[in-house]
Structure 1
Amino acid sequence: MQTQELLPPVKEALALFPDKFSDESVYAGPLGGAWAPGRVNLIGEHTDYNGGFVLPLAVDRVASCGGRRRKDQLVRLWSTHASEYAQFTLEGLPQSFDEQRQQLPGWARYLLGVATELVRAGIVLQGFDAVVAGDVPLGGGMSSSAALEIATAQAFALFSDGKFTIGEKGTTLTYLEVAALCQRAEQIASGVMCGILDQAASVLGLPGKAILLDCRSMEYRYLPFEAPNVSVVVIDTSVRRELASSAYNERRSQCEQATQLLQKAILQADPENSQARQIKELRDITPEQYAQHKDQLPEVLQKRAGYVIAENKRVLKVVELLGQNDIEAVGAILWQGHAGLRDEYEVSCDELDALVEIAQSVPGVLGARMMGGGFGGCTINLVRNEALDALRAAVEEQYPARTGRQAVIDICRAAAGPGHTIVG
């Protein structure tokens, strides 16, 4: 078995497979592995479901499935994180989704969701057994669920015996079609009405590149994200919150309300404004229109709309800076983004704020902000390499004293997207 070129979680899944699944009589194909990366989002938080812009990069942390194709319609799984088995059948999907979902642990529901959406898309699937492993922090704001979903789609492609393919034009499903499919899978599996940021970032990743994605048109382009003297540092608060219970859906609803009220106010002020009639999301409202009409909103909706409109502007400013290869200047915009998430969107928490404040006190940290849905998870930090040790020392000394928790510090690189391979 040649696995020396594979990432460690893929190797782990493949190595564990013979111990966890040993019934040779059920298999109809060789051993293979599939994987997909987590992501960090440089800027553009909570803009995806408002039709706005995001600027993520895939990172060198992956979710993986290592296994073999079965002769039947059963999918059997072993999770290294949960240390438990789970199984479901492809028979009866999508109609059997709700009944099967109730019988599965949370992590396995994402795989069932992907299978369900693939079947709904007309894809003929084959069952498989697989070990599920990964080194994307679970619930840490680096999109472990999206990585698992994209890896699952890759696994089904791998074990379908060539019946469907994922890629660019000429394939059964394009990368962005897979991203949208996995977004729907997450929504039905978790109950969180997530945007497409996480899945698109995972499926589109390229080494040394950030991805500017227009979440309405789904147009995207790559920007250079390599600076030999600057590192991307992800610091995990060790705080875990379920997005469904962390007011994520409430924020989405508030943005929709704000859009409707702002559109009404703009039209009342100028009934002949044809552009205002085309307003569908906060992305369509300019900063000038918001400033003129924000008093028509309740205070909480002013905050939500003000943050999203400003955040879209921040994304485009970072794009401009990256186009000039000025990664260092991006840092100041991260501080601004965190302040907006903390004070206007109100999705931060004491632990996230503590990490950002500690980072701000360390010379050589260019910028930091909370990342992900909020209420826990990670911060993203842009740090000059000579300041890495000082940041680590400051976090290790001050964070436990302030929060009673231990933080986990990791350095990430912009990395490639998903893949799969037969190994023997």
Structure 2
Amino acid sequence: MHRRATIPARINIIGEHTDYAGGKSLAFATDVHLILDAKSLPTGFEGDPTVVELWQAAGGWPAHLSVTSSIPIGVGMSSSAALCLAVTLCVNGSMEPLAACKEAQRLEHEILKTPCGLLDQMAMMFGKEGSASLLDFTLLRSTTVPVPSDWMFKLVDSKIHRKLSQSSYSASVDSQLQTVHVDSENQRVERALNATARHLGPLLNASHASLQKRGVSLPEVDRQVELLQNTPGVIGARMMGGGFGGMILVLVESDDVLPELRTYSPSRGGFVEEIFE
């Protein structure tokens, strides 16, 4: 047997640090992927030790495991969630998307020791071409939302890379501070649903300011975000992902802004296929 899982990276437009608090996010799958090939072996397991550990924890059969990926590691594009989803789908084959998300989350918690919510997995699994996913983490529901043509996103690498399992991501935070952030971020998500790019930009800026207060940004990142927010042609910018470095999401007026960087558009969600050779 040979199974291949293809999992996209995700970009979270707005709604950061809300998933584990029952909040909301607006995110989309990209055309940057991690691919896991699992080929049956008579006995034993072959592959990267971490991949093999995840595979065995998921109940995988004896297999040769190989990963190819264009998702950058440690920059807030959720390469670890993509890997856990790929393992889940290759072990189980086609399965109900939310069930796949929960199993991948379990692997990330237990094996990779990352205390993540379900944002990454749901954005990756429920992605649709040309659309974002409105994710409700109380109802565990995804609603497809078309992305307006004037929403043009680019990513700037802050060059500060940290593993969330090794950062203060998992540290406790003042409950009142967290509540204030989640409540205001949920409101920004709702306002984003009917926003033009010109109105979305200030929402991204406000999201970053809230994340600063929440304590998941860094001064080095804040300085870069501020410079980008004041760059001609940039409508808004904020840190993206769990925090403490990684990518900065930038909303631009056109491709001519920050021309050295590519524009990201919504793409298909993750899937698994049987390969016949």
Structure 2 length-normalised TM: 0.91
Residues 33 and 423, structure 1, Cα contact 8 Å, conserved in 2: no
Q: Does 1:379 align with 2:248?
A: yes
> Cα deviations across residues 161-182 of structure 1 (Å, max 9, x unaligned)?
xxxx42xxxxxx3100110111
Residue 236 of structure 2 corresponds to which residue in structure 1?
367
Change (3 A) 1:226 1:75: farther
Q: Distance in 1 between matches of 2:183 and 2:258?
A: 36
- Determine which of 153, 158, 163 is the counterpart of 2:88: 153
Change (3 A) 1:230 1:200: closer
Question: Aligned-pair distance for 1:364?
Answer: 1.8
Residue 267 of structure 2 corresponds to which residue in structure 1?
415
Identity of aligned residues (%): 32
Residues 113 and 188, structure 1, Cα contact 8 Å, conserved in 2: no
Residue 154 of structure 2 corresponds to which residue in structure 1?
233
Task: Give matches, 1:2-401, under 5 Å.
Answer: 29=1, 32-72=3-43, 74-77=44-47, 85-86=48-49, 108=50, 112-113=53-54, 115-116=56-57, 118-119=58-59, 125-157=60-92, 165-166=93-94, 173-227=95-149, 229-250=150-171, 253-254=172-173, 258=175, 302-321=176-195, 326-342=196-212, 344-389=213-258, 392=260
Q: Distance in 1 between matches of 2:198 and 2:36?
A: 37
AA aligned to 2:140 is M
Change (3 A) 1:42 1:115: farther
> Cα deviations across residues 8-36 of structure 1 (Å, max 9, x unaligned)?
xxxxxxxxxxxxxxxxxxxxx4x553210
Change (3 A) 1:230 1:54: closer
Change (3 A) 1:240 1:211: same
AA aligned to 2:72 is P
AA aligned to 2:169 is Y
> Cα deviations across residues 286-329 of structure 1 (Å, max 9, x unaligned)?
xxxxxxxxxxxxxxxx43332222111111111233xxxx2442
Q: Distance in 1 between matches of 2:143 and 2:256?
A: 31
Q: Distance in 2 between matches of 1:64 and 1:241?
A: 23
Q: Distance in 2 between matches of 1:114 and 1:372?
A: 25
Q: Which has the higher helix share?
A: 1
Question: Aligned-pair distance for 1:226?
Answer: 4.1
Residues 126 and 142, structure 2, Cα contact 8 Å, conserved in 1: no
Q: Unaligned 5+ residue runs, structure 1?
A: 1-28, 78-84, 87-107, 120-124, 158-164, 167-172, 259-301, 393-408
Residues 26 and 133, structure 2, Cα contact 8 Å, conserved in 1: yes
Aligned length: 276
AA aligned to 1:203 is M
Change (3 A) 1:363 1:64: same
Change (3 A) 1:361 1:254: closer
Question: Aligned-pair distance for 1:141?
Answer: 0.3
Q: Distance in 2 between matches of 1:242 and 1:62?
A: 20
Question: Aligned-pair distance for 1:423?
Answer: 5.5
SS of the aligned residue for 2:139 comes to: coil
Residues 154 and 263, structure 2, Cα contact 8 Å, conserved in 1: yes
SS of the aligned residue for 2:74 comes to: coil
SS of the aligned residue for 1:239 comes to: coil
Residues 44 and 315, structure 1, Cα contact 8 Å, conserved in 2: yes
Change (3 A) 1:32 1:384: same
Question: Aligned-pair distance for 1:233?
Answer: 0.3
Residues 255 and 263, structure 2, Cα contact 8 Å, conserved in 1: no
AA aligned to 1:76 is E
Larger radius of gyration: 1
Q: Unaligned 5+ residue runs, structure 2?
A: none
Residues 55 and 91, structure 2, Cα contact 8 Å, conserved in 1: no
Residue 4 of structure 1 corresponds to which residue in structure 2?
none
Change (3 A) 1:194 1:387: same
Q: Distance in 2 between matches of 1:127 and 1:411?
A: 40
- RMSD of aligned Cα (Å): 2.0
